[in-house]
């Protein structure tokens, strides 16, 4: 099993979620996060005062899947989250040692 983590722009969430549903992904965890990469934040003007926003709002998706679905999930996230501009995000694929459904006690791929 693998855990796919994706950091995307907030306005792309619905598009990514719909694309994942189309390929049969039934469960995702979504978190509102803040951070920065190469873009290093930006400057905003508020009531005549300029201030620096160091951390940019992003969305973090977490998807636990079977190994054979990894390539398709990564491809779908990549194509649906891309705007072509700086700050589109990142995708990470991590090994997942164990998963367990609390309600039934199912383990492994059956749990996800």
Count of structural domains within the chain: 1
Structure tokens at 40: 């290093």
Q: What is residue 77's predicted lDDT score, i.e. its pLDDT?
A: 98
**Stated length of the chain:** 112
Q: What is the pLDDT of residues 58-112, one digit of tens each?
A: 999 999 999 999 999 999 999 999 999 888 999 999 999 999 999 999 998 888 8
Contact 10, 60 (CB under 8 A): no
Domain boundaries, position 30:
2-111
pLDDT at position 31 over 90: yes
Rounded average pLDDT over 42-59? 75
pTM, 2 dp:
0.85
CATH of the domain at 42: 3.30.70.120
39/19 Cα distance (integer angstroms): 27
Count of beta carbons in the 10 Å neighbourhood of residue 38 = 6
Q: What is residue 41's predicted lDDT score, i.e. its pLDDT?
A: 62
List beta partners, residue 52: 43
List beta partners, residue 95: 2
């Amino acid at each position: 099993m693998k855990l796919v983590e994706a950091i995307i722009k907030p306005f792309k969430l619905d598009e990514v979620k719909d694309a994942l549903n189309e390929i049969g992904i039934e469960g995702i965890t979504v978190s509102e996060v803040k951070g920065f990469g190469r873009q290093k934040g930006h400057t905003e003007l508020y009531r005549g005062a300029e201030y620096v926003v160091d951390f940019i709002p992003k969305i973090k998706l977490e998807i636990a899947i079977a190994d054979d679905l990894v390539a398709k999930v990564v491809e779908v996230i990549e194509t649906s989250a891309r705007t072509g501009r700086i700050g589109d995000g990142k995708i990470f694929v991590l090994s997942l040692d164990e998963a367990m459904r609390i309600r039934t006690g199912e383990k492994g791929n059956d749990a996800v």
